[in-house]
Amino acid sequence: MSLLVRWLLNSIALIITAYLLEGIYVSGLGAALIASLVLGIVNAVIRPIFWLLTLPVNVFTLGLFTFVLNGIMLKLAASVVGGFRIDGIITAVIGSILLSITSYFLTILIDDKK
């Protein structure tokens, strides 16, 4: 699957997540496209540093802190993208879980490898 298709699917997943979860707001497809791009960059660059710094906490919580870390990355992306807002860290954590699930199912629907 091409990178552009995956980017579009993640943008659609973000719009679906905002529709399903109160507290996450996306103003439109343009904001979702930019937010998906920023989220991808944040997850590729900043998340590994945060993961390494919080490794002891993650080990102590048996990996459950990863959900919080994902929520922080989503909230960070929302803080720099206009037209994309999240109303709290709990909403961000739940939103990151829902976003992952939605993106996974959209990828299964579109993926041509069967």
Q: Give yes or no for residue 114 having a pLDDT over 90.
A: no
66: exposed, middle or buried (C-beta count within 10 Å: 0-12, 13-18, 19+)?
middle
Query: β-pairing, 24-26 with 84-86?
Result: antiparallel
62-103 pLDDT, tens digit per residue, is 999 999 999 999 999 999 999 999 999 999 999 999 999 999
Judge whether 96 and 68 are in contact, CB under 8 Å: no
Q: Give yes or no for residue 109 having a pLDDT over 90.
A: no
Which 3 state secondary structure label does DSSP give 60?
helix
User: pTM value?
Assistant: 0.87
